């Protein structure tokens, strides 16, 4: 199945992604679609929220997540007919990338042609809603996690509060790329860790 966004500038349509090949989601058209349908959250925030929930509980129900997002992040009654398909597809996209063995998961962020401060802000909010999603999925403060996992979660909290002003020097760009790779690798580690916890204990409910 393929979902499309209207591209007003080109008078055409942009695919959301193809469920067969899982192409990356186009950030700006998705952001506009959310705004047009009264969702007060960015693609990064929603992807972070879904990823956090899936990491803690990979059996979380997509319909419950979609209802939660529409309830918490919409105003003046978003158009469910236009929101449910793309939100459900976003959730499936995050889940499939996390489950893949080819290390293709990555936070959903604006493209590299955007200013660094804008991308850093998106990463910061991704981390914030990722932590929120983990909490919604039932993460307990006394969960039996190893030191490396605990340190990564603390690092996510720090990134969620980082000063997002940045220049566009090559050094700052390189630092940002390294930070994204760290978040990516740590998220995959968390997914594996919580999968083991779900199978071996009742710490996560």
d(CA 152, CA 28): 29
Q: Which residues pair with 2 in a beta bridge?
A: 18
Rounded to two decimals, the pTM is: 0.86
C-alpha to C-alpha distances, 60 to 108, 142, 148, 171, 180, nearest whole angstrom:
20, 21, 25, 40, 25
Helix axes 80-99, 62-73, angle to 10 degrees: 130
Q: Could you read off the pLDDT tens digit of each residue along the chain, which spans 205 residues?
A: 444 555 545 545 555 555 444 456 889 999 999 998 999 999 999 999 999 999 999 899 999 999 999 989 987 766 788 899 999 999 999 999 999 888 889 999 999 999 999 999 999 999 999 999 999 998 876 566 788 889 999 999 999 998 877 666 778 899 999 999 999 999 999 999 887 655 544 343 3
Q: Which domains does the chain show, CATH number per domain? A: 2-200 (1.20.120.740)
pLDDT at 161: 92
**Burial level of 93, CB count in 10 A (0-12/13-18/19+)?**
buried
pLDDT digits (tens, 9 = 90+) for 102-151: 888 999 999 999 999 999 999 999 999 999 999 999 887 656 678 888 99
d(CA 178, CA 59): 31
User: Which of these, 115, 112, 124, lies nearest to 163 by C-alpha position?
Assistant: 124
């Amino acid at each position: 199945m393929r979902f499309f966004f209207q591209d007003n500038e080109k008078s055409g349509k942009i695919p959301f992604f193809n469920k067969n090949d899982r192409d990356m989601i186009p950030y700006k058209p998705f952001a506009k679609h959310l705004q047009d349908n009264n969702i007060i959250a960015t693609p990064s925030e929603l992807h972070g929220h879904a990823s956090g929930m899936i990491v803690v509980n990979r059996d979380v129900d997509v319909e419950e997540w979609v209802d939660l997002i529409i309830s918490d992040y919409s105003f003046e009654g978003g158009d469910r007919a236009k929101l449910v398909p793309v939100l459900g597809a976003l959730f499936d996209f995050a889940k499939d990338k996390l489950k893949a063995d080819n290390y293709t998961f990555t936070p959903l962020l604006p493209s590299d042609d955007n200013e660094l401060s804008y991308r850093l802000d998106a990463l910061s909010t991704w981390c914030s809603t990722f932590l929120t999603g983990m909490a919604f999925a039932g993460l307990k403060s006394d969960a039996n996690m190893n030191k490396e996992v605990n340190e990564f979660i603390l690092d996510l909290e720090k990134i969620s509060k980082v000063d997002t002003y940045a220049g566009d020097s090559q050094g700052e760009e390189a630092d940002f790329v390294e930070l994204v790779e760290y978040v990516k690798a740590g998220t995959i580690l968390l997914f594996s860790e919580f999968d083991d916890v779900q199978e071996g204990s009742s710490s996560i409910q």
